[in-house]
Structure 1
Amino acid sequence: MSIGFFFMLFAAQSQNFVEETILNSYADKGKIPYHVGYISMAIMYGVSTASVLFVAPIIDILKRRALPIAGFGYALFLLSFFYLNEIFLFITSVIFGFSRSVLYAAMGFYLTSNSNPNNSSLVGGGILLFIIFHNSNSKDEIQDSTVKYIYGAFTGVTIFAIAILALLRKPLNDGKARQEKQSQAQRLSSTFRLFVSKKMLYISLPFTYIGITFAFWSGIYPTTIAQTNKFDYNTHSLTGISAIATGMGQVLAGLIFGFLNSKFTNIRRDFIVLFATILHLLVYVAIYINFPKDAPLKKTCETGIIEPK
């Protein structure tokens, strides 16, 4: 199952890094408006957030079969880049967002251990993006053939993941060791009661911050890199390098804190949170001084506070 999720998220997370950049390349040719990539991602996240409240009955019916079915929603979105149309893109973004909720809810239903393939999948996706962009004939313009290579690879990987998830064996306790069934109204009621509890309101603040951070590093930051023309290097290849570095950072942080937690049990959680907060602030300051302010929205030859060498 970990292999299936690895390949599914390999495609999903990697395409987030290049979606706005690729769609802006089509906008340069007058095929679609600018910034539809940002709108598409907003639709995905919004639908995913809203639909997570309503997917439980679907999981009750489909059980583990929900995993490959949700994968088809991912694949349909990726295929939309072969026949790019603004309306179709937004429709498939809705499907993608809903499929994301189903996938993660089904994962929670199926998992019997805390296996998390998310981190290393981004490294593999970054390597793929770097290779394709590095061998592209154009430094500034993303050619249609390059887009087809990228999304063809992502679609193929997703279909492979669907096949793996479809072959998962039936859990031994499937439908046997389950809690008393609740109606959808009861589920929603208990969910909202939990949400307004004092502890949940406190923890919702860092959850919100994590969501904003995810949107930044998976969509806005890679686009900023790609649209900063002052870099001498191929900025699209730099996007791939950024994905590799991000994935490696996630893996490394997990290993470090996992090791520290096992060896030094007296390390307090507030120390780890404080360390991560300071590190985040330093990274944001570095991004602020290194990139021009208009880079997230358009290609620019301007520089940040410091000029890249």
Structure 2
Amino acid sequence: MTPEGKRLLNIVILGFAFMFMFTAFQTCGNIEQTVLISFNSTDFHGTGYTSMAIIYGVFAASNLIAPSVVAVIGAQLSMFCSGLLYSAYIAMFIYPFTWSFYTASVLVGVGAAVLWTAQGNVLATNSSERTIGRNSGIFWALLQFSLFFGNLYIYCAWRGHDVITDKDRKTVFISLTVISLVGCFLFFLIRKPDSEPSSSAGEVTESLLQAESNDSSASYRSVTAHMKSCKMFVTKEMLLLSLCIAYTGLELTFYSGVYGTSIGAMTRFGQDAKSLIGLSGICIGAGEILGGGVFGMLNKCSRFGRNPVVLLGLVTHYIAFYLIFLNIAKDAPVATQAGTDLVVMFPRYSVGVMFLSLQR
């Protein structure tokens, strides 16, 4: 196999590994609050919302040290260890305890920062300026399929279930844990490319994750990577991007945890309410793939630059969230196991809203 073929194979393996891992994790995040509401234990006092807040708060803070970790132990081992933390978080739901729930939330937040930093390193070192766009597209397409497969399983498994029993919970989370572990071990199939492609993305990543080649000190590489990442953070471009990134974080929180929980709490959907959480996730995944392709082509072909694409995305968001506002009861995100009986304006069209709530 040619060096170019080996690098492409690495990207495909990377995409499949993330697809398996996030089939498990994103499905877990979509259903966890609904599962915990149905969990009958007087000793458990955790909530999915608090867990997600901890995960993404620790995730944000840990990004400052993630480049140092990857520089010291390498991208492949970093991804594997981080993947094990994701698997441990999912497995915790088989027999949940309050202390293990929140401890796992902290650990997976750290693991997420290291995982995505290492992913960027692998993507960059296996790409050139000519192939970086293609490779990024392959990776993200495979990743977004994770929303489809996991939620399809939830839709089929929970159809007709008013309450999620202990058996339902254990069956789902044992399956998700196994799927996540498959993704972890796929990282070991990634091989170091025969030669480093000359890529601007690769140069940026290498400058963050490696010290000078004539210094083999792990501590020196760690400190250097940390200092360079801090310097990059205060650049004008990164500060401006931080505003957009902050918004996408709010949106991610909504569609990955709050929206699914709200659908499951709507008693007007009848016995299919819980299974519709899975259908929602399937539609979000379809929208991620379709929206990424359409907006990508518009951005590439537009003669007017990126502004029309951004405005189209803004209008899509306004429509989506307004329709959700009309169709989801106001207390649905915090409803108890009994759900919510509040009347909404157009309940019969709520499933259709899923198709519009997924454009990012």
Partner of 1:12: 25
Structure 2: distance between partners of 1:102 and 1:158: 17
| 1:75 correspondence with 2:90 | no
Determine the structure 2 residue equivalent to 1:87: 99
Partner of 2:250 in structure 1? 212
Q: How far 1:12 moved relative to its partner?
A: 1.1
1:278 alignment counterpart: 315
1:110-156 deviations in Å (ceiling 9; x for gaps) = 1223222321110111101111111x6x32x1011111111111111
Is 1:157 aligned to residue 179 of structure 2? yes
Would the aligned equivalents of 2:299 and 2:309 in 1 still touch at CA under 8 Å?
no
Q: In structure 1, what is the Cα distance between the partners aligned to 2:236 and 2:184?
A: 40
Distance 1:172 1:96 in 2: 32
Q: Which residue number corresponds to residue 54 of structure 1?
A: 65
Q: Residue 197 and residue 110 in structure 1: after superposition, are their counterparts in 2 closer, same or farther (change >3 A)?
A: closer
Identity %: 28
CA contact (8 A) 2:151 2:278 kept: yes
Query: How many angstroms does 1:101 deviate by?
Result: 1.1
Aligned to 1:169: 191
Report how far residue 31 of structure 1 moved: 4.4
CA displacement at 1:307 relative to structure 2: 4.2
Instruction: Calculate the aligned-residue CA RMSD, in Å.
Output: 2.2
- Which residue of the partner structure matches residue 278 of structure 2? 240
- Judged with a 3 Å threshold, the aligned counterparts in structure 2 of structure 1 residues 189 and 160 are, in CA distance, closer, same or farther, namely closer
* Structure 2 counterpart SS, 1:165: helix
Q: Per-residue deviation at 1:185?
A: 4.7
Q: How many residues align?
A: 302
Mapped partners of 1:154, 1:161: distance in 2? 11
1:189 Cα deviation after fit: 4.2
Output aligned runs, 1:1-309, within 5 Å: 1=13, 2-26=15-39, 29-33=41-45, 36-63=47-74, 64-111=76-123, 112=126, 113-114=135-136, 115-116=139-140, 117-134=142-159, 138-139=161-162, 141-173=163-195, 178-179=206-207, 181=211, 184-262=222-300, 264-298=301-335, 299-308=339-348
Please give the alpha-carbon distance, in whole angstroms, between the structure 2 residues aligned to 1:67 and 1:203: 25
TM-superposed deviation, 1:3: 1.2
Runs (5+) with no aligned partner, structure 1: none
Greater CA deviation, 155-164 or 215-224? Answer: 155-164
CA offsets 1:232-291 (integer angstroms, 9 cap, x no match): 3511111000000000011111222334445x3415211011011111011111111111
Cα distance between partner residues in 2 of 1:119 and 1:229: 30
CA distance in 1, matches of 2:110, 2:308: 37
